[in-house]
Structure 1
Amino acid sequence: MNTHPNNTETNTAYRAAVISLCALIAISLAWELWLAPLRPGGSWLALKALPLCLPLSGILKGRIYTFQYSSLLVLPYFAEAVVRLFDASTVSKACAAFALICSLVFFSACLMYVRRQRKAAEHV
């Protein structure tokens, strides 16, 4: 089902999902390449951002199936952020906190978007 947001709540969920996913990709890259890499000069762990790029097209197109599976895809990023909140570096803690917020917002926005789209489909 390829639908675009049609009401205010769905539109808000859609925007929140897009913004939080893009922010999570950006913080994942910046964290491991410049801000607080595990190794000086950057880390191969920056490749963790690649799986987040896979659903980006479907999210931008408003595809319900993409919202469903990507809500599960983001859970390991949430878990990593929780674990790395206890890191020694202040910058790494800040990155972890931002990633935690982004993953929570994305997960919640995906659920809200899917729920609203399904309710709209039932009423048609």
Structure 2
Amino acid sequence: MELSPDFFEYTSGRWLYNESLRLLERKLVFNVGELKKIAAKCLRQPASEVKEFSKLAEGGFNRVFQITMKDGSQVLARLPYPSTKPYRLPTASEAATLDLVRATGVPAPKVLYYSPDAQTLWGPSL
């Protein structure tokens, strides 16, 4: 599976001032193989079943990737940029909030895995 050249780069906007610094803050280099393993494990499948791994969206604080398995099942992985701090509390809070919202009956994404540990991939993921 070949990744596009801009996979780790921010490509959704421009800055008039300090553009090189803003782009560097949003450069997100991580262990793609490890994220594939985590995504596959969440779906109780081996990492070899990953069919497609693509950048779906990016914003001011996170980048979202879509991981598609050979059977058609999909998961989303949202990774904060290295410049997004503090790591631990926002990630845990967002995961808990989504679980709470789902418990009230409001449709919300199901969190299959999250890590507030800065050593997972490169930093926390949801």
When normalised by structure 2's length, the TM-score is 0.32
Greater relative CO, 1 or 2 (CA 8 Å, sep 6+): 1
Scaled by the length of structure 1, the TM-score of the pair is 0.32
